[in-house]
Amino acid sequence: MVRSMKDGLDQTSEQREFVALARDFALREIRPRAREVDDADHESPLDLWAKAAKLGLTSFMLPEEYGGGGVGDLVTQALVTEELCYGDIGIGNLLTSNGFFAGPVEALGSPEQRRRWLTPLTGDDPPMTALAVTEPAVGSDAAALRTRAVRDGSGYVLSGQKTWISNAPYARYIVVFATVDPALRSRGVTAFVVERDMPGLRVGRALPKMGQRAIVSAEVFLDDVRVPAENRLGEEGQGFYGLMRTFDASRILIAAACAGLCRAALDTALRYAREREQFGKPIIEHQAVAFRLADMAARTDAAHLLAMRAARVFDAGEPATQEAAIAKLVASENAMWCTWAALQTHGGWGYSREFLLEKWMRDAKLEEIEEGTSDIQRLIISRSLAKSGAM
């Protein structure tokens, strides 16, 4: 069962086509592979990546002038992301991951830089990419980066260590955020595109994870990596702006991904509750179960609707930081709750690996942590409220 989301949004024919394509791929290719991919140890499903690439599902968010699908609006990106993550959130996030690399390239890069690094992502055999911000001692406070970028002649020398970098073992290009002067904090943060074959770049071991194992994460070491000045995105000190703009968009897409996961959990629980009988009737006829399903439906709709609202604000060119934080906070916590509720509805079978629910519950936890924890989202929202005095 695939529940349709009624959000008052009149979809264009192009949006409907993209959504239908993503939904078909999710049900036909992603969902059947979810358990197998979760069991694979530190391996991304490269065959699924290749299949999705041929359909344009890894590059639909990139501009047409570079060969992409030209879906520049975040509303459509969110709708497609939700469908892919309905199939499986870990695999869905993998297939859309080049969009995170593209964000700062589009926000800060020159036309030549965009052509150079976005065009390869739109072919039939696109490389994977990565975004490197997090460091062993730096997570939520991105202005406190310790990775240094020292000007040296016609380029820069980058030195430092990044951790929990998604796609690092496979990435051909990595946007690395470093500081030209730690004392400047956010005003010193600068973005660079580092290419995999640059001397001094090392990728560490894959980091074992609780969930979302379709995406392999690892440490990245920069041992005096010499980067040409033409690989710098924007001017010195502009990286933090590009990063924050990328975070607004990525948090909205995370909310959409969580809406897809909520929907998958609800559909699975609803199907089981109609079939499973106890005390002489289907368990959906027992109020305790029925009310839990009602709460799941409400939380699923809330996740979807908040993602859509934030995406529309973003697309209108208005500041969307508060809306993105609200959407990410509510959707990620709802995904955690909905996967728990679905598992609870299945009882002992939910705790087993017979169903995907225990996997989805492990997957959901990451969404409360990545791109800013729930605590950080509450901090962003409260600061925004303090400044404006009203919603």
Instruction: Provide the pLDDT for residue 389.
Output: 61
CATH topology of domain 129-237: Butyryl-CoA Dehydrogenase, subunit A; domain 2 (2.40.110)
**pLDDT per residue as tens, the chain (391 positions):** 555 556 666 788 888 899 999 999 999 999 999 999 999 978 999 999 999 999 999 999 999 999 999 998 999 999 999 999 999 999 999 999 999 999 999 999 999 999 999 999 998 899 999 999 999 988 777 778 999 999 999 999 999 999 999 999 999 999 999 999 999 998 999 999 999 999 999 999 999 999 999 999 999 999 999 999 999 999 999 998 888 888 899 999 999 999 999 999 999 999 999 998 899 999 999 999 999 999 999 999 999 999 999 999 999 999 999 999 999 999 999 999 999 999 999 999 999 998 999 999 999 999 999 989 999 999 999 999 998 865 5
Spell out the domain ranges in the chain: 13-122, 129-237, 240-388
**CATH number, domain 13-122:** 1.10.540.10
Label each residue of the chain as H, E or C: CCCCCCCCCCCCHHHHHHHHHHHHHHHHHHHHHHHHHHHCCCCCCHHHHHHHHHCCCCCCCCCHHHCCCCCCCHHHHHHHHHHHHHHCHHHHHHHCCHHHHHHHHHHHCCHHHHHHHHHHHHCCCCCEEEEECCECCECCCHHHCCCEEEEECCEEEEEEEEEEEECCCCEEEEEEEEECCHHHHHHHEEEEEEECCCCCEEEEEECCCCCCCCCCEEEEEEEEEEEEHHHEECCCCCHHHHHHHHHHHHHHHHHHHHHHHHHHHHHHHHHHHHHCEECCEEHHHCHHHHHHHHHHHHHHHHHHHHHHHHHHHHHCCCCCHHHHHHHHHHHHHHHHHHHHHHHHHHCHHHHCCCCCHHHHHHHHHHHCCCCCCHHHHHHHHHHHHHHHCCC
Which residue bears the tokens 């005096």? 224
pLDDT in tens, 223-259: 999 999 999 999 999 998 888 888 899 999 999 999 9
- Give the residue numbers marked as catalytic: 371
The 10s digit of each residue's pLDDT in 35-90 is 999 999 789 999 999 999 999 999 999 999 999 999 989 999 999 999 999 999 99
Hey, what CATH topology would domain 240-388 get?
Butyryl-CoA Dehydrogenase, subunit A; domain 3 (1.20.140)
Which tokens in the block code for residue 228?
């040409």
